[in-house]
A and B are shown apart, each in its own frame.
Chain A
Amino acid sequence: MASDAIALTPARVASRPVVEVLHDWLITVDHKKLGLMYIGYALVFLMIGGMEATIIRIQLMVPHNTFVSPETFNRMFTMHGTTMIFFMAMPVMFGFANYLVPLMIGARDMAFPRLNAWSFWMTAFGGLLLYFSFLGGTGLYGAGSAPDVGWFAYAPLTSRAFSVGHSTDYWTLALLVSGFGSIGTSINIVATIVSMRCPGMTLDKMPLLVWMNGVMASMVLFALGPLSAAQIMLLIDRYLGGHFFDTQAGGSAVLWMHFFWIFGHPEVYILVIPAFAFVSEIVPVFSRKAIFGYPVMVAATVAIGFVSFSVWAHHMFTVGMPSYGNAFFVLTTMLVAIPTGIKIFNWIGTMWGGKLRFATPMLFCIGFLFQFLIAGLTGIMLGAAPFNWQLSNSYFVVAHFHYVIVGGIIFALFGAFYYWYPKMTGRILNETLGKWHFWLFVTGFHLTFDFMHVPGLLGMPRRIYTYEPGRGWETWNLVVSIGALFQAAAILVFVYNLIASYLSGREAGSDPWDGWTLEWSTSSPPPDYNFAVVPTVRSRRPLWDSKHPEDPDWKYE
């Protein structure tokens, strides 16, 4: 079958003018090219956001440091957060969803290819707007530069009086524009999954990655609306003299917090569910076992999707809510632990008794399992209102959510890179460099984020540009900053690996991992049309069925 696909692929034209190739990418509506553009775009922003993080850590390495000014420090943490969430994590997840969902459901393309291109360019334009603020943020007032209001931009700091110039406008417009892009691509993902599946792929036979991306996209639909609405309100306040968040005219600053976190908390799950999706595909293949508890995994994902919309005010315990408000949000937050715990047990259940292969994708997934568990445990600690009153806005919180995002999401994402890079490029990423990447990153991650909990417990607030010596914070901060350097080194190894393996990596063939889902049945990289013959599936592992016709899955499912 794979040879059929290769035979039908037109021979590659050796050399085309660069302009022509660029033009092809610019006007493309192909889900694979757009997926790769999303991923490449996100990697650029990963580097930029990483540099901002490095600047933050250099500044905090020792007390009374003057590496950057307080104003620059504020811009760095604002840009770091905004970049990493909106222009790194979301685009990279959309990129993988774009690339993989049609291939895994046996479709030719997404449901709306042109909407797909539109969405990508909206996101790209949003990122450019955000970074144009370094030039344009000064505006006519001669004040401000890049946004410096923090990634959740609490009112009234964002009002005209406290945020002069245009920096906040760039922030809000960038998020509004890229938000429309996110909604567009999510509409596309849901419509693709509902309407484009190949014959035989009923909902209970979809790969878990497809299920989870479907849940993620549905969540984006409901979460990005409130964010966009809040941004529109902020624009009305700033440009038309509205009073939504203007406390002097009776407006409420707390309302902004509610609106932001109604988006903000589901956003965490929007990012982590695709990470779950990667792990749910990689762990079975490298354990040589079908996923344990497929229906429960689906149910747990949907449950997380629902519950995540009812937990937002656990970001606001210190604002002051009625006791029943606190109790409600504590209980819903605790509730998230149940479906998440089920998932962790299911992944371990998949590995249990399996024939484990510790290739780089699997290493990253195992790292994910341990670290995401710890991230969840500190999440439960912070979800308890009394504990939260003590530690809200401290480095303990920063350590917690970086444990989720770096230790969980980024680890799973790196696993996905090593797993699907052969499909996307036709070359396998170098395993030796992969191991270097993994161990350097694990070391750096734990140095940074394990030890970051401690200054938080000792009372170090987040977002301070420097601190006094003699509070017992110095050593911890030094270790945290050294860890950041390890992580930066690991990322450089990764980027080098991406480039070097593309140029001279080992040929992957169509199915380097002995996989089971449809994307491995076509050539690497897949031809424009994906599948020469529309596939028909009878079980959750169509390639297992075709490789083992004597013992197919559909006899048991």
Chain B
Amino acid sequence: MSATPSSLSQATVDWRLPYRGRVGMLCLIAAETGIFSIFVVAYLFYIGKSVTGPMPKDVLELPIFISVCLLSSSLTVHLAVKSLARGRLAGFQVWWFATIVLGLIFLVGTAREWHRLIYEKGLTISTNLFGTTYYSLVGLHASHVTIGLVALSIVMTFALLGKVKPEHAERAEVLSLYWHFVDVVWVVVFTVVYIA
């Protein structure tokens, strides 16, 4: 046993492992993928199985503008993280803020769409199977956008207080991974709900 310290502590060169925050976020994304997959499957499975109307084609309109906004926000958050990594703090704040604004526009758009569906078209979550699956799937996504916006805003607050430094770029990137995931999910939701 006395020989242990020497043989257990030989230095090896260049021991680098992946950043734990990145691994953790990828794991969270894996778990979220499971949740979203089930909601997507339920939506697809119940297409055309509603006993009463309204049906999707009667009430849905393509949300092109807000989709463009949300997808663009992936680009802005990427540019923000790049700016931070290169030490351009002003650039980081501008792009980060743009991401929040674009996300907010998306949420407002979703809210307007729901308002129209509920008050003009009479479609609620309990109206029929389409309503149940539509509001759950889109709502699950919108709740993820909301959580993302809260997280982005917290970072924005710290940035305005001057607490976000270039050495935090790796952490900001972890949050941007989540935001990219939310965008990718929207591509899937858009495809199955508005196109399929």
Interface of A toward B, CB cutoff 8 Å: 1-2, 4, 111-112, 115, 183, 186-188, 190-192, 194-197, 199-200, 218, 221-226, 228-230, 232-233, 236-237, 240-244, 249-252, 255, 259, 262, 511, 521, 533-538, 542-543, 545-547, 549, 552
Q: Can you identify 19 A-B contacts, CB atoms within 8 angstroms?
A: A112-B20, A187-B24, A187-B28, A223-B34, A229-B36, A240-B125, A240-B126, A242-B125, A243-B132, A249-B51, A251-B132, A252-B45, A255-B42, A521-B8, A533-B5, A536-B10, A537-B8, A549-B3, A552-B7
Q: Determine the chain A residues whose CB is within 8 A of the CB of B36 once the complex forms.
A: 229
Task: Decide yes or no whether B23 CB sits under 8 A from chain A.
Answer: yes
- Known contacts: A190-B23, A229-B38. The answer to whether A183 contacts B31 by CB under 8 A is yes
In the complex, which of the residues B9, B45, B136 contacts A536, with contact meaning CB atoms closer than 8 Å? B9
Q: Determine the chain B residues whose CB is within 8 A of the CB of A244 once the complex forms.
A: 42, 132-133, 136
In the complex, which of the residues A2, A191, A252 contacts B23, with contact meaning CB atoms closer than 8 Å? A191
Q: What total of A-B pairs shows CB separation below 8 Å?
A: 160
In the complex, which of the residues A226, A237, A534, A545 contacts B9, with contact meaning CB atoms closer than 8 Å? A534
Q: Determine the chain B residues whose CB is within 8 A of the CB of A187 once the complex forms.
A: 24, 27-28, 31
Residue of B nearest to A534 (CB): B9
CA distance A1 to B54 in the complex (A): 73
Residue of B nearest to A182 (CB): B31
Within the complex, what minimum Cβ distance (angstroms) separates A40 from chain B?
A: 26
- Known contacts: A195-B23, A243-B128. The answer to whether A233 contacts B9 by CB under 8 A is no
Q: Determine the chain A residues whose CB is within 8 A of the CB of B126 once the complex forms.
A: 240-243
Q: Determine the chain B residues whose CB is within 8 A of the CB of A197 once the complex forms.
A: 17
In the complex the two chains form, is B15's CB within 8 Å of A111's CB?
no
Given contacts A183-B31, A242-B125, A546-B4, could you give 14 more A-B pairs where the C-beta distance is less than 8 Å? A1-B4, A111-B24, A187-B27, A195-B17, A196-B17, A200-B10, A229-B35, A249-B51, A250-B46, A259-B38, A533-B9, A538-B10, A546-B3, A546-B7
Task: Decide yes or no whether B19 CB sits under 8 A from chain A.
Answer: yes
Within the complex, what minimum Cβ distance (angstroms) separates A557 from chain B?
A: 15
In the complex the two chains form, is A250's CB within 8 Å of B49's CB?
yes
Which of the four size classes fits the interface of chain B? Answer: 35 or more
Which B88-107 residues sit within 8 Å CB-CB of chain A? Answer: none
Q: Determine the chain A residues whose CB is within 8 A of the CB of B51 once the complex forms.
A: 249-250
What is the interface of chain B mostly: helix, strand, loop, or mixed? helix
CA distance A200 to B15 in the complex (A): 7
In the complex the two chains form, is A535's CB within 8 Å of B9's CB?
yes
In the complex, which of the residues B11, B24, B27, B50 contacts A199, with contact meaning CB atoms closer than 8 Å? B11
What is the interface of chain A mostly: helix, strand, loop, or mixed? helix
Within the complex, what minimum Cβ distance (angstroms) separates A521 from chain B?
A: 6
Task: Decide yes or no whether B33 CB sits under 8 A from chain A.
Answer: yes
In the complex the two chains form, is B8's CB within 8 Å of A1's CB?
yes
Within the complex, what minimum Cβ distance (angstroms) separates A513 from chain B?
A: 14
Closest 8 CB pairs of A and B: A225-B34, A241-B126, A1-B4, A229-B38, A195-B20, A242-B132, A199-B15, A546-B4
- Known contacts: A226-B37, A242-B132. The answer to whether A190 contacts B27 by CB under 8 A is yes
Within the complex, what minimum Cβ distance (angstroms) separates B96 from chain A?
A: 24
CA distance A96 to B130 in the complex (A): 45
Q: Determine the chain B residues whose CB is within 8 A of the CB of A535 once the complex forms.
A: 8-9
- Known contacts: A200-B15, A535-B9, A546-B3. The answer to whether A224 contacts B31 by CB under 8 A is yes
In the complex the two chains form, is B12's CB within 8 Å of A536's CB?
yes
Q: Determine the chain B residues whose CB is within 8 A of the CB of A188 once the complex forms.
A: 24
Residue of A nearest to B140 (CB): A232
CA distance A443 to B89 in the complex (A): 70
Task: Decide yes or no whether B123 CB sits under 8 A from chain A.
Answer: no
In the complex, which of the residues A225, A236, A251, A546 contacts B46, with contact meaning CB atoms closer than 8 Å? A251
CA distance A67 to B33 in the complex (A): 47
In the complex the two chains form, is A221's CB within 8 Å of B27's CB?
yes
Q: Determine the chain B residues whose CB is within 8 A of the CB of A111 once the complex forms.
A: 20, 23-24
Q: Determine the chain B residues whose CB is within 8 A of the CB of A229 once the complex forms.
A: 34-39
Task: Decide yes or no whether B162 CB sits under 8 A from chain A.
Answer: no
CA distance A229 to B133 in the complex (A): 12
Within the complex, what minimum Cβ distance (angstroms) separates B57 from chain A?
A: 17
